[in-house]
Amino acid sequence: MSATDGLYDFVYRAMLTEEALDSAGRNRRSVDAAQSQAIAEALSLELLEVEDLEGARQMAIVYTAIAAFESSARRFVTRVLMDAFGEEWWEKGVSEKIRKFAESRRDEEEKTKWHGVRGDSLLDYTELGHIPNILQQNWDLFEPYVRRIDWATSLFATLERSRNVIMHSGSLALPDVERVGMSMRDWNKQVGL
């Protein structure tokens, strides 16, 4: 069995598990089938190659996990910094270099008024790789949770690499998908999310 076949098998089993959980009465809080159908129709998916769609759908599962992880990590950083600095957490807890990066990105995106925005917080305009930098800048606050900055830096670099491959229409092999899952589980166990 090739790595691609293994990945397809893995994703197919995940989809079957999802269907089984739904059949058993699982409450899917935010998934609305009608809304998903409307989105699919708005995108004219029927015009695209089936093979391309299937590969993208498989990677969408991985991207969904990474995106949710990233949001969770940003909330964690915000919460810890707000507990320490209050409403001034952005100015006191984030370096000027990262603040300027985020503010510049936000300002650039605001020029395209017809398009939705990235988020409400300036932290939403930073890159995933900025998170370990922010942890290190405030190490006394984050050390009780993270314990080793080199571990966090490596973990976020791995996730960012996988995220970038998917975001540029690439596909991850099953070992890379497993590494993503292991990294997220390790972070959640360590940080206590």
Please tell me the distance from the alpha carbon of residue 98 to that of residue 130, in angstroms, as a whole number: 7
Give the global pTM: 0.77
Instruction: Please say whether the beta carbons of 28 and 22 come within 8 A.
Output: yes
Distance CA 148, CA 92 (A): 22
Task: Identify whether the C-beta of residue 163 lies closer than 8 Å to the C-beta of residue 102.
Answer: no
Closest CA to 126 of 168, 84, 71: 71
Confidence of residue 13 (pLDDT cuts 50, 70, 90): low
Whole-number Å distance between alpha carbons of 6 and 160: 23
Q: Which residue has the tokens 């006394």?
A: 140
pLDDT in tens, 58-75: 999 999 999 999 999 999
Q: Residues 29, 32, 34, CA angle at the centre, nearest 5°?
A: 165
Spatial distance between the Cα atoms of 193 and 178, rounded to a whole number of angstroms:
20
Taking only the tens place, the pLDDT of each residue in 75-105 is 999 999 999 999 999 999 999 999 999 999 9
Confidence category of residue 40, pLDDT binned at 50, 70, 90: confident
CA 75 to chain centre: 12
The domain ranges of the chain are 1-47, 49-191
Residue 116's pLDDT is 87
Of 103, 81, 100, 108, nearest in space to 92 by CA = 81
Contact 158, 187 (CB under 8 A): no
